[in-house]
Amino acid sequence: MSYAFETLGTGFLFTEGPVWHPTGRFLLFSDMPGDHLRRWSAADGVTTFRRPCDMSNGLTWDRQGRLVVCEHATSRLTRTEPDGSIVPLASHWRGKQLNSPNDVVCRSDGAIYFSDPPYGRAKYYGVERPQELPFQGVYRVGPDPGAPELLADDFERPNGLCFSLDERRLFVNDTARQHIRVFDVAPDGGLRGGRLWAETKGDQPGAPDGMKLDAAGNVYCCGPGGIHVFDPDAGLLEVIEVPERTANFAWGDDDYRSLFITASTSLYRIRTTTPGRPVF
């Protein structure tokens, strides 16, 4: 399928973490190296939402419409309250600082899951410093920011994650291993299994990063050449070829058929036949 790419903004350092606000009708996205959390709307174009932003990466809304942010510079997952105050949701595990929360998703029951690779401890994309934890995991937020629940620790570079339509499965990709795994979600919210589900193959630049589900249950995952689209049974439907190396994407606009793509120095928009799903 051929797509018409509309450039909504360019000249950024490295774009990530887009999330659409349905009532405000605006998109937030991160520019990590610029320490700049940006906002786009049809009325105002690209403006500043928060700067500095502790080198934010992945963004989502919780079920109350509050912004949840993965911060590279602080290795925290935080929530922004309606009054603008910032509350830590996760910062340490057993007394050691998290690597750098990268991507985050909220379940319909309010539970928040996030991935924790060490990218925010590297030059340019974060603040260079030693890694305290000996593993890279996937967590669920707990009542204490210092004690998130570790759900899986056998990844090399856990990154994008999304739930199946019925929320009985959680997909998590591994950038370094170039594949997507799928876990069963237990009644208590824990994860079981973790089998290989699909691989992103190709000789173009790119690797698994941001990942989302559309309204038909198809899984969209960044990969070589752009965005790889898999049907619910892991069959590859297409690769959406993007002009730049792609880090993430999110559906938005009133009909949720606009796919906003954060690709290196630019923010793009394309129109899709199948809509995405609102975050809250």
Task: For residue 168, name the pLDDT band (cuts at 50, 70, 90).
Answer: very high
- CA gap 56, 77 in Å, rounded: 9
What average pLDDT does the chain have? 97
Q: Which domains does the chain have, with CATH numbers?
A: 11-213 (2.120.10.30)
Residue 1 has a pLDDT of 76
Q: Are the beta carbons of 64 and 79 closer than 8 angstroms?
A: no
Question: What pTM, to 2 d.p., does this model score?
Answer: 0.97
Residue 17 has a pLDDT of 98
- CA gap 264, 48 in Å, rounded: 18
- CA gap 241, 222 in Å, rounded: 10
Count of CA atoms in the C-beta half-sphere (13 A) of 233: 1
pLDDT at 35 over 80: yes
- CA gap 226, 244 in Å, rounded: 8
Q: What is the mean pLDDT of residues 32-57?
A: 98
Residue 97's CB is within 10 A of a number of other CB atoms, namely 18
- CA gap 87, 55 in Å, rounded: 16
Q: Are the beta carbons of 23 and 3 closer than 8 angstroms?
A: no
Q: What is the mean pLDDT of residues 60-89?
A: 97
- The 10s digit of each residue's pLDDT in 122-143 is 999 999 999 999 999 999 999 9
Q: Phi/psi of residue 120, each to 5°?
A: -75, 0
- CA gap 132, 27 in Å, rounded: 34
What does the block give as tokens for 115? Answer: 């991935």
